[in-house]
Amino acid sequence: MSIIVLCVISFGVKGQNWPQFRGPGATGVVEGRPAPVNWDPAKSVNTLWKTEIPGLGHSSPVVWGNKVFVTTAVTTGAKDETRYGLYGDVAPVKDDPKHVWKVFALDKLTGKVLWEQVAYEGLPKVKRHPKSTHADSTPVTDGKYVVAMFGSHGLYAYNLNGKLLWKQDVGLLDAGWFYDPDYQWEYGSSPIIYKNLVIIQADLQKDSFIAAYNLKDGKLAWKTKREEISSWGTPTIYEGKTRTELIANGSKAIRGYDPLTGKELWRLGPNSEITTPTPFVARELIFVTSGYTPIQPIYAIRPGATGDISLKAGELSNSFIAWSKQRGGPYMPTPIVYGDQLYTCSNQGVLTAYNADTGERLYQERVGKGGGFTSSPVASDGKIYLLSEDGDSFVVKTGPKFELLSTNPVGEVMMASPAISDGLLIVRGLKHVFAFGAAANTTTRK
């Protein structure tokens, strides 16, 4: 108990925030109190707490102050048809009975459930991929509102104490395989907050759009149609000195929009037919990647573009493309820039480092034994954290040369991307949320 009290004093009241998917600006990077290098929940090594979350959800944890927020979809009596690992099957789960969609708030220092709220109850309106869930979208918070997206089942805003402030029906969001509309894979993009707007990207089998809703009351502020097939990436905001851009990955084109009006500013192609990684900004460049063959691009885009900025045949750069590659983009994990390097992680756990300013490849090394990697890497204090579907986590030293610092067992499938806050690595496994840090005590809650 004394250790936990000391941690409360040390962490303070405000805390280090990780407000959305991939943290501040979707970069996956924060600095401050060093996160751990080694942990093992089975042996209570550097494990501050472990809290069971019912149901199934691949949404990532977000943090504001001393609260951690997660979402899930709970059902009973269903045959578990969820599958993990590396495979090529695309048929959706056939039988998903009634679900209850929930939002949880946990105490960051103890893992105690502070509140849980039911957002929606009923039958899922679309089917899901066998590797997916009905709660894939990561919530977002600005410290006043917590906004949870449950695809076809709506958009919900709460205050930090769990009071429902508003809910909004956003229609049927049917995202799936472009070859066959019967192959529904569920919605996966996460909402973001910009000023007084909640922005969602909905690339679907038909009637795709990007839209903004008023943060105060959930009313539609603007909606722009998109000439897109299904995608699963989250949009990103770039705030420059002269202009702010909303960047959205997409199969037919990567696009920049005015986030206050939804007007398209620029577009770039070609791209993969399936896009999942989220755009992010680092070193005054917008990085956008995708990994579905045959086109697996990596683009480093300069902000401020207008119109079509696509490369001509044989070009690798132009006035708005600092550099590019047509191979090497990751399929699922969003890359990360730390220092001078861009790091990509493939679904097979191959970590590749590039010079972020030029695209020069520095190294390519396999992490682990070749299992599946869906979680996106995060970084802090000179370390990159990678989580595998096999239940192992890896810490790699940042820099131009590969150095594996540790391999740590977690013991659960990990699909969600972790959060970092005040020296804690907050990890969502298949059944639990863990907080790994320097404290020696472990608190387990069921």
pLDDT given at position 442: 42
**CA–CA gap between residue 204 and residue 292 (Å, rounded):** 17
Segments forming the whole domain that contains residue 181: 2-445
Using DSSP's 3-state secondary structure scheme, residue 140 falls into strand
Instruction: Provide the whole-model pTM.
Output: 0.94
Q: Which residues pair with 74 in a beta bridge?
A: 100
**CA–CA gap between residue 191 and residue 212 (Å, rounded):** 10
Please check whether residue 222 is in contact with residue 196, taking contact to mean a CB–CB distance below 8 angstroms.
no
What are 241's two structure tokens? Answer: 């000195």
**Considering only CA atoms, which of 200, 117, 124 is closest in space to residue 162?**
117
If one compares 87 and 200, the residue with the highest pLDDT of the two is: 200
Strands (E), 243-391: 244-248, 254-257, 264-268, 280-282, 285-289, 298-301, 307-308, 321-325, 336-338, 341-345, 350-355, 361-366, 378-380, 383-387
pLDDT given at position 5: 31
Interval 176-188: pLDDT, tens: 998 898 999 999 9
Interval 371-410: pLDDT, tens: 899 999 999 999 999 999 999 999 999 999 999 999 999 9
Please check whether residue 385 is in contact with residue 393, taking contact to mean a CB–CB distance below 8 angstroms.
yes
Percentage, residues of the chain above pLDDT 70 = 94
DSSP run (H or E) holding 211: strand 209-214
Confidence of residue 3 (pLDDT cuts 50, 70, 90): very low
Average pLDDT for residues 41-46, to the nearest whole number?
Answer: 96
Percentage, residues of the chain above pLDDT 90 = 87
pLDDT given at position 439: 62
**CA–CA gap between residue 346 and residue 30 (Å, rounded):** 23
Confidence of residue 166 (pLDDT cuts 50, 70, 90): very high
Please check whether residue 15 is in contact with residue 65, taking contact to mean a CB–CB distance below 8 angstroms.
yes
DSSP run (H or E) holding 107: strand 99-107
**Considering only CA atoms, which of 281, 278, 30, 25 is closest in space to residue 140?**
25
Interval 286-339: pLDDT, tens: 999 999 999 999 999 999 999 999 999 999 999 999 999 999 999 999 999 999
Average pLDDT for residues 103-123, to the nearest whole number?
Answer: 97
Cα distances (Å, whole numbers) of residue 181 to 204, 252, 303: 10, 18, 35
Average pLDDT for residues 359-364, to the nearest whole number?
Answer: 98
pLDDT at 89 over 60: yes
Please check whether residue 377 is in contact with residue 391, taking contact to mean a CB–CB distance below 8 angstroms.
no
pLDDT given at position 373: 96
If one compares 168 and 94, the residue with the highest pLDDT of the two is: 168
Q: What is the CATH number of the domain that holds 386?
A: 2.130.10.10
pLDDT given at position 12: 41
Tell me the average pLDDT of the chain.
93
pLDDT given at position 179: 87
What are 330's two structure tokens? Answer: 């990751």
Average pLDDT for residues 214-241, to the nearest whole number?
Answer: 97
pLDDT at 445 over 60: no
Query: Domain total for the chain?
Result: 1
**CA–CA gap between residue 377 and residue 343 (Å, rounded):** 9
Helices (H), 348-441: none
